[in-house]
Amino acid sequence: MSKRWVELRTLAALLWLVSASPLLAVPSDVTAVPMPTPAVTGIGSWAAPSREALWLMNAEPVVALGTWRDPIEAQPQQQPHAQPFGYETSRRLNGGLQDKWQKVKNRLPAERRTLAACRADMTTCPKAARALIALIDNSMKQERGLRIAAINRAINLTIRFADDRQIYGVEEYWATPLTTFERGAGDCEDYAIAKLVALQEMGFDDADLRIVIVRDENGQGHAMTAARQDTRWLILDNRQLGLAGDEVSERAMPLFVIDSEGAKRLSMPQAKAPPTQPGQDMAAKAALLVWPASIATPFTRLIQG
């Protein structure tokens, strides 16, 4: 018997088995009637949702069980904090810190006019303004996500740290950017102000810029710039070339912030605040105002002067 003949006999047997199967047999006296389906408004019949539809409705089929899993909970998108560290602010302060900032703010329009005039004609531009414009323009050449880091590094490397007694012969002086660049030196708030103005000149919105005052690991007041990028606040500190996040730690305990409205006190949101025993809350607040004599002076002159 040929191989061809065996294959034909095998195929015939398979066809007979399929036709004789009771699963496929339909009695001659029974009329097949389509199974009714529940009407769906606007559709007329129900169909299993496609995988794309399941993805859009955030559900997932489980084939092995023949059922549906519970809808997958969508992760909430992180919302940007209104202030660095996720803290809340008081009303604008009067005196002390606000007075220092207001004096700087009153001098800034003249410096902005100087920068604008320099861009129109660099031949008559003061050396300090040329230096600041050069840093801004070089930082603007970076990708947008790197511009904050670029201006932080550039100003840190350009300005030499010195206290106000060495530079101006006074206990405390908040300098404008061009004054700082003219002297080539400044202390922490001078760095912070220069970076704030530079970022404004680079097109960053005032709503995304702050000067923050923290208590550092030595218990002293320290000023830094904060810039919001996407949903996160980044900290520009003259003590490090890289950027830092706005995490609360022993190195940065938030105290005050300066925004477009002025100087404000920072406080931990109630939802974040640890539980306290009666009387502890007032004691904690008093601790910010009454410090050991060894560390009280530097901070006091920073915020009160």
Comparing CA positions, the residue from 105, 97, 109, 59 lying closest to residue 260 is 105
Comparing CA positions, the residue from 230, 131, 107, 219 lying closest to residue 183 is 131
> Would you say the pTM of this structure is higher than 0.75?
no
* pLDDT of 5: 66
Query: Distance (Å, rounded) from C-alpha 244 to C-alpha 226?
Result: 10
Task: Note the pLDDT tens digit of each residue in 84-135.
Answer: 999 999 999 998 999 999 999 999 999 999 999 999 999 999 999 999 999 9
* For range 76-83, the mean pLDDT: 64
Residue type, 53: A
What burial class does residue 230 get, using C-beta atoms within 10 Å of its C-beta: 0-12 exposed, 13-18 middle, 19+ buried? exposed
Residues in the chain: 305
Contacts of 173 (CB under 8 A, 6+ apart): 164, 167
pLDDT-derived band at 282 (thresholds 50, 70, 90) equals very low
Within a 13 Å sphere around the CA of 139, how many CA atoms are in the beta-carbon half? 25
Q: How far is CA 218 from CA 63, 91, 188, 303, in A?
A: 61, 28, 15, 16
Q: Where are the domains of the chain?
A: 84-303
Task: Note the pLDDT tens digit of each residue in 19-40.
Answer: 655 555 545 554 555 555 455 4
Rg of the chain, C-alpha, whole Å: 35
Q: How far is CA 280 from CA 90, 115, 120, 291, in A?
A: 20, 51, 59, 16
* pLDDT of 286: 38
160-161 and 185-186 beta bridge pairing: parallel
pLDDT-derived band at 10 (thresholds 50, 70, 90) equals confident
Q: Of 70-79, 144-153, 234-243, give the lowest mean pLDDT range.
A: 70-79
The listed CATH number (1.10.3720.10, 1.10.10.10, 3.10.620.30, 3.40.50.360) that belongs to domain 84-303 = 3.10.620.30
Residue 127: helix, strand or coil by DSSP? helix
Residue 42 in this model has a pLDDT that exceeds 90: no
pLDDT-derived band at 272 (thresholds 50, 70, 90) equals low
185 - beta bridge partners? 160
* DSSP letter assigned to residue 220: -
CA diameter of the chain: 117
Residue 56 in this model has a pLDDT that exceeds 60: no
* For range 134-144, the mean pLDDT: 95
